[in-house]
Structure 1
Amino acid sequence: MSTPGNLRYTRDHSWVLLNGNKATIGLTDHAQKQLGEIVFVELPYKVGDTLGKDEAFGTVESVKAVTELFSPLNGKVAEINETVLDSPDLVNDEPYAGGWFLKITVANPKEVGELLDAAAYDKYCSTEE
Structure 2
Amino acid sequence: MTRTRTPVVADWFTGEGEEFRLLGTRCAACSAVFFPREDGFCRNPGCGGGELVEVPLSRRGRVWSYTDGRYRPPLPYVSDPDVAWEPYTLLAVELEAERMVVLGQAPPGVTAADVEVGMEVEVVPGVLNEDAETVWTTWHFRPVSAR
Q: Name the TM tier (shorter chain).
A: 0.3 to 0.5
* Greater RCO, CA 8 A, separation 6+: 1
Identify, as 1 or 2, the structure richer in strand.
2
- The two structures have a TM-score, normalised by structure 1, of 0.35
- The two structures have a TM-score, normalised by structure 2, of 0.32
Identify, as 1 or 2, the structure richer in helix.
1
